[in-house]
Structure 1
Amino acid sequence: MSEADQHESGHESGHESERVLFSQRSPFQDIVLAQEPSGHINLTLDDVWQFRSQDEHVFHEVLADTPIMMAASPASVLILGGGDGLALRNVLRYPAVRQVTLCELDPCVLTMTRTVPELVALSENSLADPRAQVIAADALAFVETADVRYDVVICDFPAVTSPELSRLFAPAFFRQLAAITHAHSVVSIQVSLDPAGFWPICAAVEASFAWLHPMLANLDAAADVDGGDDDNWADFVIASQTPQVLRTKPAAELRFLSHARVPRLRIKNRAGDRFETDEYGQMPDYR
């Protein structure tokens, strides 16, 4: 593949108004990073949307900042997935974090994050931070052989779209996460499925972690919440062996999450076609 194929080109992406910043077929997936006329950038993997810079802060604040604010001592952090550097960016905003290991399956994603100026800027060049150890490896294999216990583990995997990805949301994997954490560790898992897919994953997590704090976020945080577009919503599971409370102040850079909002985003029901939270009521409706 030529340099023009791998990095910015004059050709337009599948959306006629977008400019391709990075496009590569890796051994694992088809990676496309594109820039919209507005200047916002977006990433797709195998044509599945991963983030848009306009609203990714909502997703990553819930996923990454919540466990850091809850952990009694978030000195040692493991991020599984997250090769775009955005969860890592958020974690590194907290001085209590001393060391972060980021384990990303695809080296091509890491190359993109390190070399595309727009993504370097958005990620605040987090992969180059001296507190970060970046490893290109399979998360399953890494967790199986890890010989340390982490204070925080953040699972930033794509939503389940294949049998291979389903292994990262299975009871066996959550048992392995429990083995590399301790009683007061906090684990954060992005799920982003409708209730029918979300509740079984909650049950699988709960088999290994006694305390759950499931959360829902409307990524279009500036818009009126009408429950219209299910794609604008993301759901998460925060888990621990012991009950957790918020201990650390939010980083100054946060735009969406606050101490007051964390409990309001908690999903209160564990069945049905809707999620129920204090923040949004019973929305969205997946029936």
Structure 2
Amino acid sequence: MKITIDINQLYWISIGAGLVLFVEALGWLYWRYLGAGSIRDYVSEDEEPDGDYRIIRKINSPFQKIALVESEGQVLFYGNGDLMFGTIEDEEIYAEALIHVPMALAGKRKRILIIGGGGGITTREVLRYPDVKEITTVDADEMMMDFGKNYDALVKFNEGALNDPKVKTVIEDGRAFVESTPEKWDAIFIDIPEPSEKCPSLRRLFSLEFFKILKERLEPDGVINVSCPSLANIPEYLWSVQATLIAAGFHVLPYHFDVIVEYEEDYGFCMATNRQVMADEISIPIPTRFLSPERLQDMVHIPYNYAKWSSNNKIQTDNNMVLAEIVDEAFNDD
């Protein structure tokens, strides 16, 4: 039997098939970018890599939506859409700035506490000191700690730091861990995301009450360093952390590392001690890639465009949302 289809039939069949494909494509785009399958829960539009990238894995931990992203041969780790860290050069810069300035001022360097060190990169930097005897690295998210210990690309980058015999890893909220132990440390590092509307409970790791507990857990000649990484976007955040540390009884020396030209970032830090320290006391005793003497002089000078916010003396407590409000106002102005 011969079947004939005229031109008009072919035309309308083609139109129909095209409409079906178009509707399916719209449905897929909605599901991926706006609906239940949205990648924006894992990689925000503001922080996605430049150029082509590939999402290797999407995982929901009890604490956050985690994405592992491959971009230009590197692996990036995202939490709730925000870039946390990666096997990238600016992570090397940040880790050196966070760790080595306080380590240069610590009276001893035998026992170190890192809160938020699941990636193992800051632990790697502390292990460069031969006089370090024990590092306690705490992270609330077991999945992040597992990546730091077992994910090949990250283990290579952190040089196996979290599997080193000097390192004790703890899966627990940082504050709960500190409150439950009478131990003392020579240096304490707080390297966790800023409190925000997404994670308001993080304020308890930046609060006056917690800093007072840390003061009791710090050796008399010890040092605490609190990361305030988004200095270029929220300079008032650093000054609020400083005000809170001062209210807890510390002397504070803020500093920063400017990588605006290279990475559009300026990393801020609040270094707290029991005695007043001067910038000219900082002399890093081990080789570093990025912390030259000239760079150190620049780091302790806070530019005016940040310093003009230093009158912000709002103190974070367990019962207010000072830091989260600063963050949300800066990043959610839409």
With the shorter chain as reference, the TM-score category is 0.7 to 0.9
Q: What CA distance in whole angstroms lies between the structure 2 residues aligned with 1:185 and 1:22?
A: 40
**Aligned-pair CA distance for 1:260:** 4.1
Give the number of the structure whose residues are more often strand, by fraction.
Answer: 1
Q: Which residue number in structure 1 is paired with residue 242 of structure 2?
A: 202
User: Which range is displaced more, 238-247 or 68-77?
Assistant: 238-247
Q: Select 1:272's aligned residue among 308, 312, 318.
A: 308
Give the number of the structure whose residues are more often helix, by fraction.
Answer: 2
Q: Which residue number in structure 2 is paired with residue 75 of structure 1?
A: 110
Identity of aligned residues (%): 26
Q: What CA distance in whole angstroms lies between the structure 2 residues aligned with 1:134 and 1:22?
A: 24
Q: What CA distance in whole angstroms lies between the structure 2 residues aligned with 1:104 and 1:168?
A: 12
Task: Count residues with an aligned counterpart.
Answer: 255
Q: What CA distance in whole angstroms lies between the structure 2 residues aligned with 1:209 and 1:259?
A: 30
Q: Which residue number in structure 2 is paired with residue 182 of structure 1?
A: 219
| Higher RCO, 1 vs 2 (CA within 8 Å, ≥6 residues apart) | 1
**Aligned-pair CA distance for 1:199:** 1.2
Q: TM-score, normalised by structure 1?
A: 0.81
Q: Which residue number in structure 1 is paired with residue 130 of structure 2?
A: 95
Task: Please tell me whether the aligned partners of residues 101 and 284 of structure 2 are also in contact (alpha carbons under 8 angstroms).
Answer: no
Counterpart of 1:120 in 2: which secondary structure?
Answer: helix
- Which is greater in Rg? 2
The answer to whether 1:246 aligns with 2:246 is no
Sort the Cα spacing of 1:263 and 1:209 in 2 relative to 1 into closer, same or farther, 3 A. farther
The answer to whether 1:39 aligns with 2:98 is no
Q: Which residue number in structure 1 is paired with residue 195 of structure 2?
A: 160
Q: Which residue number in structure 2 is paired with residue 173 of structure 1?
A: 210
**Aligned-pair CA distance for 1:197:** 2.0
User: Which range is displaced more, 48-57 or 166-175?
Assistant: 48-57
Q: TM-score, normalised by structure 2?
A: 0.70
Gaps of 5+ in 1: 1-12, 224-228, 275-285
- The amino acid that maps onto 2:111 is S
Counterpart of 1:197 in 2: which secondary structure?
Answer: helix
Q: What CA distance in whole angstroms lies between the structure 2 residues aligned with 1:158 and 1:137?
A: 16
Q: Deviations over 1:217-250 (max 9, x none)?
A: 1245757xxxxx4xx122111110013433541x
User: Which range is displaced more, 235-244 or 79-88?
Assistant: 235-244
Q: Point out 4+ residue stretches in structure 1 off by more than 6 angstroms.
A: none
- The amino acid that maps onto 2:258 is N
**Aligned-pair CA distance for 1:191:** 1.4
Q: Which residue number in structure 2 is paired with residue 24 of structure 1?
A: 59
Root-mean-square deviation (CA, aligned residues, Å) is 2.5
Task: Please tell me whether the aligned partners of residues 22 and 112 of structure 1 are also in contact (alpha carbons under 8 angstroms).
Answer: no
Sort the Cα spacing of 1:113 and 1:22 in 2 relative to 1 into closer, same or farther, 3 A. farther
User: Which range is displaced more, 50-59 or 13-22?
Assistant: 13-22
Q: Deviations over 1:29-81 (max 9, x none)?
A: 11112120x21222111111112413111111111111112112111100011
Task: Please tell me whether the aligned partners of residues 209 and 240 of structure 1 are also in contact (alpha carbons under 8 angstroms).
Answer: no
Q: What CA distance in whole angstroms lies between the structure 1 residues aligned with 2:115 and 2:142?
A: 14
Gaps of 5+ in 2: 1-41, 311-329
Q: Select 1:109's aligned residue among 144, 148, 151.
A: 144
Q: Which residue number in structure 2 is paired with residue 127 of structure 1?
A: 162
